[in-house]
Structure 1
Amino acid sequence: MLVDFYQLGSSPVEQIIASIAEKLLSQDGRLLVVAEDEGVLARLDRMLWDQAPTSFLPHGLAGGAEDARQPILLSTSPDAPNLARNMLIADGQWREAALAYDRAFYLFDAATLEAARLAWKLLAGREGVERRYWAQEDGKWVKKA
């Protein structure tokens, strides 16, 4: 399983999540986006709906009757009723449940940097886990480790 650590820079988190989601959808993947704060999920939900018609990303907030059909599901829980094999942690709080997925995207900022460092260390040497670290430079993602 692959864990991609993304250190947030100047780009809005919603824009980064939309970019990752769009790429996964183009590969017929499904995504579970997890954050403890429902306000974060509500902002992301609005942003995904407000995209231009050519860039609409089909999604839903967890807790509805159609959860299983959503290609992108926004949730406070690490469980994926949409059968996603990709989990995106949007709030910088590592969840061990991410290791049950094929791939995890772990977004963190300056406020959650120490938690990200701890997660990086805890995952070191774990069998079947590959870690990658990405940071933004001049508006582009650069693999640092």
Structure 2
Amino acid sequence: MPLDIGFYHCTRAPAAEVAVRLSAKVLESGQRLLVVGERPRLEALDKALWALVPDSFLPHALAGGEFDADQPILLAETAEPVNGAKLLLSLEAGVPGAMDGFERVLNLFEDGSPAHERARLDWKALGSRDGLTRSYWQQNERGGWEKRG
């Protein structure tokens, strides 16, 4: 089965808010998720996972703790799925070079951000690679997603 890489262009909501919603969907499906990004973004997402969805609990942790392998959602600076995740969410970090072991990669980027240009470069670079599929999704006016490529 080819690796599926989805490029998600966040035009209506911040990437952190989108990441929280996607994390909730992943948990609902019974899967595990690895979120990669730079430490400040991960720390902001850590707080958002507690605050953005009232009356809910999204079990997660910042990587580096004793129980990383047990976390349904692990926030890390590297794409090492120590929690057994098959889904990788890249939070404005671009598509990681090593994606072995993952079934799906979700690359989030905000309109006009430096990650936006990085996503364009990644899209082009991945177009010629065997063993993967890629798709481009853009937020519509209602905050939903439309496949554009």
Partner of 1:132: 135
User: Structure 1 runs of 4+ off > 4 angstroms?
Assistant: none
- Secondary structure, aligned partner of 2:7: strand
Aligned residue identity for 2:105:
A
The answer as to 2:27 corresponding to 1:25 is: yes
Per the alignment, residue 10 of structure 1 pairs with 12
Which TM-score applies when normalising by structure 2?
0.89
Any conservation in 2 of the 1:34–1:77 contact (CA below 8 Å)? yes
- Per-residue displacement from partner, 1:27-67 (whole Å, max 9, x unpaired)? 1111000002x1111111111122322x3211000000010
Deviation string, structure 1 residues 62-105 (Cα, Å, up to 9, x no partner): 00001000000001111111010111100242211235411000
Consecutive unaligned residues of structure 2, counting only runs of 5 or more, are none
Asked if 1:74 is matched to 2:75, the reply is: yes
1:142 is matched by which residue type in structure 2?
E
Q: Secondary structure at the match of 2:23?
A: helix
Q: Which protein has the bigger helix share?
A: 1
Q: Distance in 2 between matches of 1:125 and 1:100?
A: 20
Residues 90 and 105 in structure 2, CA contact (< 8 A), matched pair in contact too: yes
* Structure 1 residue 8, shift from structure 2 partner: 1.4
Does the 8 Å CA contact 1:92/1:116 hold for their aligned counterparts?
no
Structure 1 residues without counterparts, runs of 5 or longer: none
Partner of 1:43: 44
Question: For this pair of structures, how many residues does the alignment match?
Answer: 143
RMSD, aligned α-carbons: 1.3
Q: Secondary structure at the match of 1:97?
A: coil
